[in-house]
Amino acid sequence: MAILPEPHLFLDRDGTLIREEHYLRDPARVVLEPGVPEGLHRFTCAGFRLVVVSNQSGVGRGLISEDDVTAVNERVAELLSVHGVSISSWHYCPHLPDEGCLCRKPRTRLFESAASQHPVDWEQSIMVGDKPSDVQAGLSLGMKAVLITTGYGNLHITWAKAQDVKAVRSLVDLADIAIFGDKLRLNGAA
């Protein structure tokens, strides 16, 4: 029996799910961005699979370890579980920006890895992050892509407008648009 592709909500971690802290290594410092549990709960109820895709160049720089990344991810998962939300899978790139790897966003290997675990309905899926590289990765795969204005997102609003990419303040706002509003408003339509 074939497994049917599902809509996915692909999420950047730092500055999107959790407050941006440069090269975060201490799980005790994890703070969810406002609206994250509520927004993710809405997406889960609407049938979206939740997947985190994150650039973690601090590993390649020797500033954090892969164990640190795992510990922070586990803390995020713990905080979300209190609200009945679970992430299906976690994927990260440990490489430096100039290494030319295929997994660092805006490249797509992290997404392909997720799709190998659970088939993705790319047209119905959404990528959300606080940097242009997040948005560009989603768009290159044919997804809807959204800039969130938390983290570094406020620095890229002009870029988003020039690219005709929707900018939202929170995952609750994104859920309101994507689930309860006109889905076509995310990219390329008023």
Catalytic residue among 12, 68, 134, 173: 12
pLDDT of the residue at 186: 61
Q: What sign has the CA pseudo-torsion 92, 86, 182, 6?
A: positive
Catalytic residue among 14, 68, 130, 134: 14
Percent of the chain with pLDDT over 70: 95
In the chain, which stretches have pLDDT less than 70?
A: 182-190
| CATH superfamily of the 8-184 domain | HAD superfamily/HAD-like (3.40.50.1000)
pLDDT of the residue at 185: 52
Is the pTM higher than 0.85? The answer reads yes
pLDDT of the residue at 3: 85
pLDDT of the residue at 184: 41
CA distance 6 to 182: 19
pLDDT of the residue at 1: 72
Residue 98's CB is within 10 A of a number of other CB atoms, namely: 9
pLDDT of the residue at 34: 96
12 is known as an active-site residue = yes
pLDDT of the residue at 179: 86
Give the CA diameter of the chain.
47
The pLDDT tens digits of the residues spanning 9-42 come to: 999 999 999 999 999 999 999 999 999 999 999 9
First to last CA, the chain: 40
Strand partners, 159: none
Q: Position of tokens 């790897």? A: 101
Residue spans of the domains in the chain: they are 8-184
pLDDT of the residue at 187: 60
DSSP 78: H
pLDDT of the residue at 121: 97
Cβ proximity of 69 and 56 under 8 Å: yes
